[in-house]
């Protein structure tokens, strides 16, 4: 078997998965609070090829080894990691739109999230503040998850005529009815995407509230949303690079295919 056959195949697979990741980023470029994924491509371990020969002299068998060379077995897309850099704020003037602006964090590798509750009573986290009010008057995400207060209870605002100050205090008819629960993660490496703009921790543990961490500060901007942090020009450049790399590996595969066809049909052919 040709050495580079599987190497080229691995390259095609990794670039195909990278293309899928980049196209998903582009598709969500206008999704509020979306955090782009970044791919981590690693090489498989190299293999040392050896030829083993046995020689028999009488009743004695001797074995010798000869190094042929190293074989690179290709690359693979090890994982996709969300980039949690803060997105730009966009003014919408809708009362139900809330943007979470991080002003100070104890650890620069940390981050802040809105706390929401799904219909299965599971707590999740989101940066998408494009909220709405359901028929019962509760503040929810566009997917129906309840936005929670500092007691992890749904917030009833009655209608869209409510106010939120810069610390997340919710006021209805001039009275404070609750405060948005903002969770703090000291390391974003433990945060994973679960779909629909939601996140959870790898081990399933709940994130502490910023109420318990006075060093973390933020501002809530009502009438604004945090835009996606996808850099369209850079993502398009990376997508073209991935496509060209895939195409180059494809041509290598075609060359090997022609070589194997000749080996099967012409080499050793009896004329």
- pLDDT, one tens digit per residue, over 61-79 is 677 777 777 766 778 788 8
28 shares its domain with 54: yes
Asked whether the predicted pLDDT for residue 271 surpasses 60, the reply is no
- Domain residue limits at 16: 5-81+231-265
Q: Tens of pLDDT along 207-219? A: 989 887 777 889 9
Q: Do 121 and 221 sit in the same domain of this protein?
A: yes
Taking the model in full, what pTM does it have?
A: 0.79
pLDDT of residue 65: 76
Element (H, E) at 159: none
Residue 154 sits in the same domain as residue 38: no
Residues 191 and 138 in one domain: yes
Q: Which residues contact 192 (CB under 8 A, 6 or more apart)?
A: 199, 200, 201, 202
Please check whether residue 37 is in contact with residue 21, taking contact to mean a CB–CB distance below 8 angstroms: yes
- The predicted structure's pLDDT at residue 260: 80
Q: Tell me: do 18 and 106 sit in the same domain.
A: no
Alpha-carbon distances of 176 from 156, 157, 172, 262, rounded to whole Å: 11, 10, 6, 80
pLDDT in the model for residue 37? 93
* pLDDT at 232 (0 to 100): 95
| Pairwise CA distance, residues 216 & 222, whole Å | 20
Q: Are residues 102 and 150 in the same domain?
A: yes
**Using alpha carbons only, how large is the chain's radius of gyration in Å?**
28
- Other residues' Cβ atoms within 10 Å of the Cβ of residue 72: 15
Residues 219 and 139 in one domain: yes
Domain count, the chain: 2
Is residue 93 domain-shared with residue 204, that is, in the same domain? yes
Pair 244, 215 in one domain: no
32, 87, 113, 163, 254 from 100: Cα distances, Å: 11, 10, 8, 15, 51
Residues 64 and 164 in one domain: no
For residue 270, being part of any structural domain is answered with: no
Please report the pLDDT score of residue 164 as a whole number.
Answer: 94
> What digits encode the pLDDT tens for the residues 29-58?
999 999 999 988 887 777 666 777 777 776
34 plus 74 within the same structural domain: yes
Least reliable range by pLDDT among 101-110, 163-172, 216-225 = 101-110
Strands 37-43 and 75-82: antiparallel
More confident residue, 154 or 106: 154
Rounded distance between C-alpha atoms, residue 29 and residue 147, angstroms: 24
Whether 196 and 127 map to the same domain: the answer is yes
pLDDT confidence tier of residue 6, bands split at 50, 70 and 90: confident
Confidence bin at 7 (pLDDT 50/70/90): confident
């Amino acid at each position: 078997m040709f050495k580079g056959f599987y190497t080229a195949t691995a390259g095609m697979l990794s670039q195909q998965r990278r293309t899928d990741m980049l196209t998903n980023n582009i598709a969500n470029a206008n999704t509020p609070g979306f955090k782009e994924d970044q791919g981590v491509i690693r090489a498989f371990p190299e293999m040392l090829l050896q030829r083993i020969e046995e020689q028999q002299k009488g009743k004695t068998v001797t074995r010798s080894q000869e190094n042929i060379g190293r074989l690179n077995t290709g690359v693979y897309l090890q994982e996709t990691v969300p980039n949690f850099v803060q997105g730009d704020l966009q003014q919408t003037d809708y009362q139900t739109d809330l943007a979470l602006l991080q002003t100070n964090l104890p650890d620069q590798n940390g981050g802040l999230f809105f706390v929401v509750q799904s219909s299965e009573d599971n707590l999740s986290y989101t940066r998408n503040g494009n909220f709405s009010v359901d028929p019962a008057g509760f503040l929810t995400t566009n997917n129906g998850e309840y936005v929670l207060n500092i007691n992890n209870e749904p917030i009833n605002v009655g209608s869209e005529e409510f106010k939120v100050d810069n610390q997340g205090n919710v006021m209805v008819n001039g009275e404070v009815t609750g405060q948005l629960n903002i969770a703090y993660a000291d390391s974003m490496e433990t945060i994973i995407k679960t779909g629909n703009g939601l996140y959870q921790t790898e081990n399933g543990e709940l994130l502490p509230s910023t109420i318990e961490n006075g060093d973390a500060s933020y501002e809530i901007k009502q009438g604004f949303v945090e835009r996606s942090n996808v850099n369209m020009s850079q993502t398009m450049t990376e997508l073209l690079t991935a496509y060209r790399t895939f195409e180059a590996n494809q041509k290598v595969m075609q060359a090997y295919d022609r070589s194997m066809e000749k080996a099967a049909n012409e080499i050793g052919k009896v004329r």
